[in-house]
């Protein structure tokens, strides 16, 4: 019986999508897990890096206490993400932008795989691992263009310290492939 219910639900979803004119999709860790992106959270207070749980490493308090350690954590994550590629789910969602008259895609993921698959205007609710913002002037920069040996990175405009950028929206210009240079894993 559960299989028949799942089939009926899938059939109803297909029918709704066939008739839809406006579609909003929200994705999370599950969509990128198939690409090899670890979810990192582990559940509860599970240590995910250097004996610290995710909610401590990525907290605003940690940014204030030890920005260099936060950068070390995100450099580690970028190293993991460097070999990940979009999967069929990312590619399907990218195709939906031309299929539906009005389509919006929001993600909780910071991996940039939706944009790499061709999605435009993605609402990145938790930012992007590949972009940084200056804590002083608010300037935005691509981490791949910063020297890997300088952590935290320094703003090219004012010399202030940078942090990973949160709450980003991709544009067609920012969808460049992130692995064009050997330094991109930094």
Give me the pLDDT at residue 52, please.
84
Predicted pLDDT at 170: 55
Tokens matching residue 113? 């795989």
Q: Are strands 131-134 and 140-142 parallel, antiparallel or unpaired?
A: antiparallel
Catalytic residue list contains 90: no
In whole angstroms, how far apart are CA 53 and each of 66, 95, 172? Answer: 15, 36, 35
Q: Which one is catalytic: 120, 126, 140, 179?
A: 126
pLDDT of residue 185: 34
In which residue ranges of the chain is pLDDT below 50? 1, 171-186
pLDDT at 179: 35
pLDDT at 99: 93
Q: How many CB atoms lie within 10 A of CB 105?
A: 23
Measured CA to CA, the distance from residue 179 to residue 94 in angstroms comes to 19
d(CA 152, CA 169): 23
> Residue 100 has what pLDDT?
94
pLDDT of residue 6: 66
Neighbouring-strand partners of residue 107: 27, 124
The Cα 69–Cα 73 span in angstroms is 6
Annotated domain spans of the chain:
22-130+166-185
């Amino acid at each position: 019986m559960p299989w028949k219910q799942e089939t009926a639900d899938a059939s109803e979803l297909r029918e709704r999508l066939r008739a839809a004119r406006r579609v909003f999709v929200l994705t999370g860790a599950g969509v990128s897990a198939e690409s090899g992106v670890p979810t990192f959270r582990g559940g509860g207070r599970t240590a995910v890096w250097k004996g610290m749980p995710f909610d401590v490493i990525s907290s605003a308090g940690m940014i204030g206490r030890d920005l260099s350690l936060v950068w070390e954590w995100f450099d580690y994550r970028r190293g993991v993400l460097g070999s990940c590629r979009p999967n069929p789910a990312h590619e399907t969602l990218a195709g939906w932008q031309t299929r539906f008259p009005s389509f919006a895609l929001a993600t909780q993921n910071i991996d940039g795989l939706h944009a790499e698959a061709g999605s435009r205007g993605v609402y990145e609710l938790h930012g992007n691992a590949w972009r940084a913002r200056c804590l002083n002037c608010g300037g935005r920069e691509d981490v791949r263009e910063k020297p890997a040996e300088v952590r935290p990175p320094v703003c090219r405009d004012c010399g202030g310290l940078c942090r990973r950028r949160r709450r980003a929206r991709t544009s067609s210009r920012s969808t460049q492939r992130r692995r064009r240079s050997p330094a991109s894993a930094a």
